[in-house]
Amino acid sequence: MTVRDWIDSAAARLREAGVDSPKLDAEVLAAHVLDVDRVWLVAHPEADFPDLAGENLLQRRERREPLAYIIGWREFYGRRFFVKPGVLIPRQETEVLVDAALHFADEGPILDIGTGSGCIAVTIKLENPNVSVVAVDVSAEALAVARSNAATHEADVRFVESDLFSALPDMKFEVIVSNPPYIADREELMPEVGEYEPATALFAGPTGLEFYERLAQEANGHLADRGRLVMEVGYTQAAEVISLFENQGWFHEWTAEDLSGNDRVIAVSRPD
């Protein structure tokens, strides 16, 4: 079977399975099997393809397992980050959160709450080597992946197992950044997300705002003077989250849109 034939067949099967981007996913799987990039596939459509080697991976994707878990990585801010089941897969919209954190950062320290794969903390450190970065997560499994990513990219980040600030009782930060769980418990999700990604990184509670409520209550004591709390929010949540913080005395400073034009990141400063 040729590369072209396998990709065409795989794309048809993925389309039938309901995958959103069947041709792209088929190409990524083919490139992974052959250990080449997608440009090589385009240049060598008549090359032999080991279809048996690709079959298991294709079946996993047909079951709607996330592509990133199958190939073991996801690109974020132009870099590859290792991911595996049990760790939230980085999203492109979260790059806006990194941009916002870098906008407010000077020398740090910066705290990344719910670091997951470590993509936010590692990227901030690499983009601004002068800042000190601490990253926390309640999941030891996620922290192991984050440490691996930091080592791969040679990023000096301190990782701590902690539920928000519980292991950092006396530390204050110039910027606190977080992509928290913000999905309501009963919200329906695509199979790739709801059936495979870690629930603790996705679901916040009945309203989806529960983690923001905790941040509004606890973060003030851990921000330095003129410090900022910068958060990713769901694409319909910005107004609610801003109102939640303003009702507790915080000052809303900034909102940033993602590439789809949704209000995706908000920055607030300490209550007076």
pLDDT digits (tens, 9 = 90+) for 232-264: 999 999 999 999 999 999 999 999 999 999 999
Helices (H), the chain: 3-16, 22-34, 38-43, 51-62, 67-71, 94-104, 119-127, 140-152, 191-194, 199-202, 210-218, 238-247
pTM for the whole thing?
Answer: 0.94
Tell whether the model's pLDDT for residue 96 goes beyond 70. Answer: yes
pLDDT band of 272, cuts 50, 70, 90? low
Please report whether residue 172 resides in a domain: yes
Taking a C-beta distance cutoff of 8 angstroms, is the pair 162, 168 a contact? yes
CATH code at 185? 3.40.50.150
Give the domain extent around 133: 85-269
- pLDDT for the residue 163: 95
Please report whether residue 34 resides in a domain: yes
Tokens of 213: 């409520």
pLDDT band of 108, cuts 50, 70, 90? confident
Residues 37 and 139 in one domain: no
Residues 172 and 256 in one domain: yes
Residues 94 and 55 in one domain: no
252 φ/ψ angles, rounded to the nearest 5 degrees: -80, 120
Tell whether the model's pLDDT for residue 175 goes beyond 90. Answer: yes
Residues 142 and 222 in one domain: yes
Residues 23 and 119 in one domain: no
pLDDT band of 106, cuts 50, 70, 90? confident
- pLDDT for the residue 227: 93
Residues 119 and 231 in one domain: yes
Which contacts (CB < 8 Å, 24+ apart) does range 125-131 have? 125/150, 125/155, 125/156, 125/157, 126/79, 126/153, 126/155, 127/77, 127/98, 127/102, 128/102, 131/105, 131/106, 131/107, 131/174
